[in-house]
Amino acid sequence: MQEIKRYQVRGVPGEINRVSFDGRIVDYWAPKAGSDHLLIAHDGQNIFDPHTASFRNTWRMAQSAIRISQGLGKTPPLIIAVFHSSDKTDPHGRGKDLTPEKAFKSGIEPMMRYEFGLNALRGDKYLNQIFTQIVPTVCEVSKTNATPDSTAVIGSSMGGLATLYAMTQFPERFQSALAFSTHWPIGGEPLVNWLLEHLPNATNNKIWMSRGTKGLDATYVELQNYADRKMSELGWHKPKHYKSKVFNRTGHNERSWAKYLDEAMGFWLST
């Protein structure tokens, strides 16, 4: 791990740390005394820093985590924000990182045009780096001792897919998945079936799904409703294990997701 810089964000005590893992940029924040909860976030550019955020709007994730944790009488979580790898030399890096690799290599036909082939996908390499390199290192330096039942992964759009895919691949490492505006249209019903059928059972796990009603989110209605029915069929019918929410007049952007992040945080952190 190579340190790049530290910076402050309004409303967040201490500093955000920016580091590199073999070229993969990671921002992280933790309470000064450490934590016993861990939140891993995709699209790390948009989590803390408005200067790297896509439209200068962030999730304000640390502020939300602090607010909800204090209300529940808990220590706020360590938040690890993992950057995707899109840049000028690899403009499709985000898609290569966040696409559920095994699902598409199993024979699912992409329903949307990709500018790269299946052999370029690196979703498995991306997740393996997170769970075998990034998480252990950051937890150690931040004095965080999280267990699977106190660990969650969060993401939106393609990050929502990557969040659910992570639970199919690393169910022993975390037990809560928070998927916002999940981008089902790239694979349609076959992708819904593959991801949900490969999830661990609901007994010890929590899954949150949500969507808005404006912009791109307005196109998710049919597939998200299909996913909700599928989850019920698979035994995810108790509210303490699965919630699917629709937020009217919200769209497909960080400003919208930040508006209802508190509710998802409460779902994860409440026992």
Q: What homologous superfamily is domain 2-269 in, according to CATH?
A: Alpha/Beta hydrolase fold, catalytic domain (3.40.50.1820)
What tens-digit pLDDT sequence spans the chain (271 residues)? 999 999 999 999 999 999 999 999 999 999 999 999 999 999 999 999 999 998 899 999 999 999 999 999 999 999 999 999 999 899 999 999 999 999 999 999 887 667 778 889 999 999 999 999 999 999 999 999 999 999 999 999 999 999 999 999 999 999 999 999 999 999 999 999 999 999 999 999 999 999 999 999 999 999 999 999 999 999 998 999 999 999 999 999 999 999 999 999 999 999 7
Please give the C-alpha separations between residue 210 and each of 120, 226, 257, in angstroms, as whole numbers.
29, 13, 9
> Terminus-to-terminus CA distance in the chain, angstroms?
34
What lies within 8 Å, CB to CB, of 62 at 6+ separation is 9, 11, 12, 16, 29, 48, 76, 79
Of 180, 173, 175, 94, the C-alpha closest to 139 is 173
Residue type, 69: S
Domain locations in the chain as residue ranges: 2-269
Whole-prediction pTM? 0.97
- Around 24, how many Cα atoms within 13 Å sit in the side-chain half-sphere? 25
pLDDT, tens digit (0-9, with 9 covering 90-100), for 105-142: 999 988 766 777 888 999 999 999 999 999 999 999 99
Do residues 1 and 21 make contact, with C-beta atoms less than 8 angstroms apart?
Answer: yes
Residues 261, 255: Cα–Cα separation, whole Å: 10
Tell which residue, 10, 92, 4, has the closest CA to residue 58: 10
Query: Do 195 and 163 form a contact (C-beta atoms < 8 A)?
Result: no
* Residues forming beta bridges with residue 90, ordered by sequence position: 87
